[in-house]
Chain A
Amino acid sequence: MSTKIKVVIPCDEANHVCDKTQYKDATLWEKIKLNIHLIYCRACRKYTKNNTKLTKEIKKSKVECLDKKCKESMKKDLDHAISEYSN
């Protein structure tokens, strides 16, 4: 069985591939399998649609995050100030 190429994948695997696709981590073969799955699975189609939309919206909104280093230095400053005030 293991040597046979698997074309049909279960839903949880399809969702996993879909998540990976959002970050461009999926291989071509995985994507093909996902698309074959999507032909007949309505629930996963919906999930994929929503997931893709989420990625698009986040990209569009250009939300930004502070990087770790900056947060740490902020924390340090704040901690310093806290200890000063409590004294």
Chain B
Amino acid sequence: MPNHQINPNKWVDLYSDYLFNYTITRVSDREVAQDLVQDTFLAGLKSMKNFKGEASERTWLISILKRKIIDHYRKINSKKGKAEVRITYNDDAETEGDWLEERVADPYDKTAEDTLQNAELGDAIHNCLGKLPEKQAEVFKMKTIQGFETEVICNELNITASNLWVIIHRARTAMVDCLKENWF
């Protein structure tokens, strides 16, 4: 029986991006998502004794996070005031264009299916990122997702530009290979 180890010291490095991405597709608010991820880590720490090692650390943390997200929605919906629909015709001109028409769902907006597909794609990408060596993943994330300039990354991580491009190249090749199985 494979026994998984638990090591909370590495949680933030290893899983915070994955958990954050999982949350943001479900609550669509950065602040809330950050708090939920943080709560998840702390809750995980508290119930570390219950970790049996049957699932991987990440799966276990996700199961906690799911509870946290459900709790979050329960909490905001229990406040009665938020549950009722209020239509206010604003008197002040500050919020100009606050028309009723704008509250109607836009049919040309993203469909639920698209959103779902993108969420799955995001999960797949993070899965593949998790398989990369730590250094490659870090550089790749900084460059591709956060969009930092080459020099900024080089200074931050203390590497040369050509070094960076080699890492990027390896990461991209690995990512393509990994994603091919799912999406290409």
Residues of A near any B CB (own CB < 8 A): 15-16, 19-20, 22-23, 25, 50-51, 53-55, 57-58, 60-67, 70-71, 74-75, 77-79, 81-82, 85
Q: Contact residues of B with A, CB < 8 Å? A: 8-9, 11-13, 16-17, 20-21, 24, 30, 34, 37-38, 41-42, 45-46, 48, 118, 121-122, 125-126, 141, 143-146, 150, 165, 168-169, 172, 175-176, 179-180, 183-184
Chain B interface SS verdict (over half): helix
Nearest 9 interchain pairs by C-beta: A61-B121, A61-B122, A50-B176, A75-B12, A63-B122, A65-B145, A65-B17, A66-B20, A74-B12
Expressed in whole angstroms, the minimum distance between the Cβ of A15 and any Cβ of chain B is 7
Task: Find out whether the CB atom of B145 lies under 8 angstroms from the CB atom of A78.
Answer: no
Contact status A82-B8, CB under 8 Å: yes
Identify which of A53, A61, A65, A78 contacts B118 (C-beta below 8 A): A61
Could you count the A-B residue pairs with CB atoms below 8 Å apart for me: how many are there?
91
* Chain A at the B interface: SS class: helix
